[in-house]
Amino acid sequence: MALDLFSFFHTRNTKSPDIFLYNTLDRKKELFVPIQKGKVLFYQCGATVYWTQHIGNLRAMVMADLIRRTLAYSGYKVDFVRNYTDVGHLTGDNLGDADAGVDRMEKAAARENLSPEKIADKYIAIFEHDLKELNILTPTDTPRATEYISEIIAMVQILLDKDFAYQTDLAVYFDVSKAKDYTKLSGQNLKENISGAGAGDVEDPQKKNPADFSLWFFRTGKHAQALQYWKSPFHSKLVSDGIGFPGWHIECSAMIKKLLGDTIDIHMGGVEHISIHHTNEIAQSEAANGAPLAHYWLHNEWLIANGGKMSKSEGTAFSLAEVESKGYSPLALRFFFLQAQYRSRQNFTWEALDAAAAGYKNLLHQVAQLGNKNGTVNQVFKDEFIKKITDDFNISAGLAFVFEILKSEISNADKRATILDFDRVLGLNIKIASSQKSETEKIPDEVQKLIDERKIAREQKDWKKSDELRDEIKELGYEVKDTTEGQEIRKI
């Protein structure tokens, strides 16, 4: 990477502050103690790249980014891995049974008449564009499941050799009855977990326990026409050379082991992963490796829309492109996300985004008014900011504290230096955005007159005159953009 993130965040000659986080595994807030001093091994379950990710998925990425930035700001070197699932994630997961349904990548391939590989390339590109727009730091690694088939096969073989897994004619399964404390993450008893696991659309009569989950699907039965498949050493009477593809859960375990090791510090994902996906990751990884998978499990809550679940069927699975098409800046959306802690549900409405956009614009305006003189980071304020953000990553409290600093009695130069220092965590691009905002406020009188005339024309719905005035403004070296907050002007 061009940017040395450790150097960017690290504060010399200071002891790392205590960080307290809520560990789903123990159901309490705990002091964070890393495996290696000064370093954090951090994994986040990433996207299944069969569709454009909606802003609820993107919120999860922002939350992990804020946690990563807080760790780095606190002096840690963070190895951060976020995966791409490009095979093996079946549609039955929506019904609580990840072994049922059809592969999402194949479904997308049929929908768009493209290969699964092309589908993955297309939606990874869109996803990474969206993350860049939201100012999310690039991970240390972004592995695709299909790039780790040999590692996946090796882990499945270990589980077979250790008698934690067994083969049928349709699949290789993990035997949950042999897992130690299988439901320790979810807190469910096994009967409840089995009932929540679903029955699947096709039963495997050779499956030992209803809750056993697939490590490897053979290319037979309902998967006989699978588009993605590899040879394996596993045996099926119905398939030669063990041809098939991996189950969803084993993919994360294999990639974690390869890139971060047997045991990591932090594993993060959505709350929907607790009872099945993460429970199964723990079972198979700890059985294969003989060590804890992660010491701390963090789970972000959902973004809901208009008080209900964000979904395509309800027309509320908004993409970032849709948000931008309505005139909102991606960083205004990030500002909105920052107003709720990662473990709290957040309700998205266009009115709420309006308020966030106005708040972000106000912040940039106030910082622009501070001038450009270099100042010193105020240590008293910094200590208070650290206290807030290291309390289970309460970034929303840190954001609110920025506005308190703007009202304080310290010099403008020190206010600016302090806020820009905090923005290493907030990620709102305040220095650049406020500078651009400052430029737009120094508008020549002749340009301002045209802007005012255009405002009137738009209010009167005289679109022809509005366009003519836009062209005149452009000839004078300024560009006008219509947003939900009105006209935004910048020098070309």
Last residue of some domain: 300, 320, 342?
300
Whether 450 and 434 map to the same domain: the answer is: no
Does residue 295 sit in the same domain as residue 434? no
pLDDT of residue 197: 41
Q: How many CA atoms lie within 13 A of 313 on its CB side?
A: 2
Q: Residue 420, exposed/middle/buried by CB under 10 A (0-12, 13-18, 19+)?
A: middle
Domain identity same for 427 and 476: no
Domain membership of residue 123 as a residue range = 5-300
Candidates 177, 193, 151; CA nearest to 277 is 193
Full-model pTM: 0.86
d(CA 15, CA 333): 34
* 83/196 same-domain check: yes
Distances in whole angstroms, Cα of residue 422 to Cα of each of 331, 386, 401, 426: 16, 9, 10, 6
Q: In this model, does residue 490 exceed pLDDT 90? A: no
Q: Is the dihedral of CA 65, 417, 369, 399 positive or negative?
A: positive
pLDDT at 334 over 90: yes
What pLDDT was estimated at residue 459?
85
pLDDT tens, residue by residue, 216-274: 999 999 999 999 999 999 989 999 899 999 999 999 999 999 999 999 999 999 999 99
Q: Is residue 324 pLDDT above 70, yes or no?
A: yes
- Both 420 and 296 in one domain: the answer is no
Q: What is the tens place of the pLDDT at every residue in 404-413? A: 999 999 999 9
Which of 287-291, 344-348, 482-486 shows the lowest mean pLDDT across its residues?
482-486
Instruction: Evaluate if residue 201 carries a pLDDT over 60.
Output: no
- Owner of token pair 């504060």: 11
Band (437; pLDDT cuts 50, 70, 90): low
Residue pLDDT, tens place only, 445-468: 888 889 889 989 988 889 999 999
Q: Of the candidates 11, 63, 49, 143, which has an alpha carbon nearest to the alpha carbon of residue 389?
A: 63
Which residues partner with 324 through β-bridges?
A: none
Is residue 3 scored above 80 in pLDDT? no
Q: How confident is the model at residue 203 (pLDDT cuts 50, 70, 90)?
A: confident
Residue 198 has a pLDDT of 38
* 205 and 219 part of one domain: yes
- Say if CB 368 and CB 435 are below 8 A apart: yes
